[in-house]
Structure 1
Amino acid sequence: MNKVQQQLYVTSEWISQYAQSIEAPLQKMNGILIAPSTMPIIFWQEFDIPWLKEVRALIHGTQRFSYMAPITAGMLLDCELSLTNVEEKVGKQGMLTFLTHTLVCKCNGDLIVTAETILIQVGDPYEKAYNS
């Protein structure tokens, strides 16, 4: 399975907590809180991601966010996280597996944000996490 879906309700409290955790100022538009632009990265915590369950520790590679509209308090987001590419390379430390993920979030059918994240696994991707 390469896709998982989750519906997320964005509250003022959630935005405030995240902004405080990254020491970002709170911003408002028409009196409504706007989420910091990197907030979708924590949306992953709300997903059950089967293809990462037996993966060793991961290194965060890159991330990109493309917004059509800001995420604001009160939005009900329909989000889909997909594993869009797996690429293996040999590096100085051995095998590297690059896992490219795309997170798409919509509100009422309108695209709000697309986020691409690359996670890197060092070592044999087929070796179980408990076989260190």
Structure 2
Amino acid sequence: MNRIHHQVHITAEWISHYADSIEAPLQSIHGNLIAPATMPVIFWQAFDIPWMNMDTPLMHGSQRFSYEAPITAGMILDCELALTNVERKEGKRGVLTFFTHTLVCTCDGELIVTADTVLIRVGDDHEKTHNL
């Protein structure tokens, strides 16, 4: 399937800004701010995701995070975003296409977080889906 890589530098300011935007309390460990658990959702902004260049809007289906260690200020994360599954189903409003993505972030070779996200497209665009 499709895979792309990007390095993400985590700053205290970025953590603070994100925490404020979702009204999450700031926490720290060993003097470093800890990112809220959902922060990896905005890592997607750093990626140019060619398979997501669609004219049809997407809906958020589900999201799951699995942490091995907290994301803290000062980390440089090596992240890989992969399209791991594309599934078409008939729904009440027509064809639904489910795009499952997995984001894996490591720091210094150690796994930090795995985030699974399902995005849903309503409508039949078989041509674009087939090319994935």
In structure 2, what is the equivalent of residue 107 of structure 1?
A: 107
Contact 1:95–1:124, Cα closer than 8 Å, also in 2: yes
TM-score by length of 1: 0.94
Q: Partner residue of 2:89?
A: 89
Identical residues among aligned pairs (%): 68
**Change beyond 3 A, Cα 1:55–1:110:** farther
- Give unpaired runs (5+ residues) of structure 1: none
Output the CA distance in 2 between the equivalents of 1:44 and 1:107: 17
Which amino acid is 2:6 matched to?
Q
Secondary structure class of the residue paired with 1:36:
coil
What SS class does the counterpart of residue 120 from structure 1 fall into? strand
Runs of 4+ aligned structure 1 residues displaced above 4 Å come to none
Where does residue 32 of structure 2 map in the other structure? Answer: 32
**Normalising by structure 2, what TM-score?**
0.94
Cα contact 1:96–1:123 (8 A) shared by 2: yes
Distance 2:127 2:20 in 1: 38
Deviations 1:57-93 (A, max 9, x none): 0000000000000000000000000000000000000
Residues of 1 paired with 2:6 and 2:71: CA distance? 16
Q: Structure 2 counterpart of 1:45, which letter?
A: Q
Unaligned runs of 5+ in 2: none
Q: Tell me what 2:64 maps to.
A: 64
- The verdict on how the C-alpha distance between 1:75 and 1:29 changes in structure 2, with shifts beyond 3 A counting, is same
Secondary structure in structure 2 of the residue aligned to 1:44 = helix
Q: Which amino acid aligns with 2:80?
A: E
Partner residue, 1:2: 2
Separation of aligned partners in 2, 1:61 and 1:125: 18
Residue deviations 1:89-114 (CA, integer Å, cap 9, x gap): 00000000000000000000000000
